[in-house]
Amino acid sequence: MTQTKKTEVANIVGSRIRKIRQSKGLTIKKLALETGVEYTQLSRIERGQINTSVFQLFLISRALNINFSEIINGLDGIQFDLNG
């Protein structure tokens, strides 16, 4: 997977997390406290600056009271060549 595709996935996931968090009226600091994920790391996740672990995404989904699939839904539509 190219860096561009990694960045694209990270941006999509981060944007979804931010939108859901904001729609629930949570600050990033409050979400960080509820997940145990450091505020700075959560901020970088939301901005698509880093890829994060599945476990951290799971923690975030639980704290947001959403299904894990809401964070990753539609990512299978991103096309890339695993061999190239």
Q: Contact 63/31 with Cβ under 8 angstroms? A: yes
Distance between CA atoms of residues 40 and 83, nearest Å: 34
Banded pLDDT at 4 (limits 50, 70, 90): low
Question: Does the pLDDT value for residue 81 go beyond 80?
Answer: no
Task: Give pLDDT tens digits for 42-61.
Answer: 999 999 999 999 999 999 99
Tell me the CATH number for domain 3-71.
Answer: 1.10.260.40
The residue ranges of every structural domain in the chain are 3-71
Q: What is the pTM of this model?
A: 0.86
Q: What is the pLDDT of residues 31-40, one digit of tens each?
A: 999 999 999 9
- Looking up tokens 């941006």 gives 11
Instruction: Read off the amino acid at residue 26.
Output: L
